[in-house]
Amino acid sequence: MIVHQNYNESGYLYDIGLLKLESKIKFNNFTKAVKLPMKYENTISYENCTGIASGWGKISEKQDKSKNLLYVSLKIINNDVCEKYYKNPFHPSLLCTSTKGKRSICTGDSGGPFVLK
């Protein structure tokens, strides 16, 4: 496993890693590759794009982690909105998202995948 060089366990920035598998994956309707962005694509704005976050995080603060993989559709919004909401500077490496209704990610989902549709 390759952990991001700036990751710190006590924080939430750069919570990303890569796995090198020992064998090839057989792709099918349930297992597909995710396209990683090219280096030049870091200037593209993803504002208003929708993606899927998934994980086995808690369903609520009082419950244990989920036994099933859960997912939620999230819309990327401008980081300025998050800065106003949280009343703190928002790190440029983070994505600010919004969802309709009461569904969201929860404790235990940090560092999980977020894939654009």
At 69, the pLDDT band (50, 70, 90 cuts) reads confident
Task: Give the 3-state secondary structure of residue 101.
Answer: coil
Domain residues for the domain of 102 are 33-117
Task: Give domain status of residue 6, yes or no.
Answer: no
72 membership: H or E segment, kind and range: strand 70-77
Q: Give the per-residue pLDDT at 29.
A: 92
The DSSP code sequence of 73-106 is EEEEE-HHHHHHHHTS---TTSPEEE-STT----
In a domain, 14, yes or no: no
**24 belongs to a structural domain:** no
pLDDT digits (tens, 9 = 90+) for 22-61: 999 999 998 888 877 777 666 678 889 999 888 888 877 7
* Domain contains 18: no
Q: What is the CATH number of the domain that holds 61?
A: 2.40.10.10
pTM for this predicted structure: 0.71
Cβ contact 48:76 at 8 Å: yes
Q: Which of 77, 76, 60, 59 is nearest to 68 (CA)?
A: 59
Domain count, the chain: 1
Has residue 19 been placed in a domain?
no
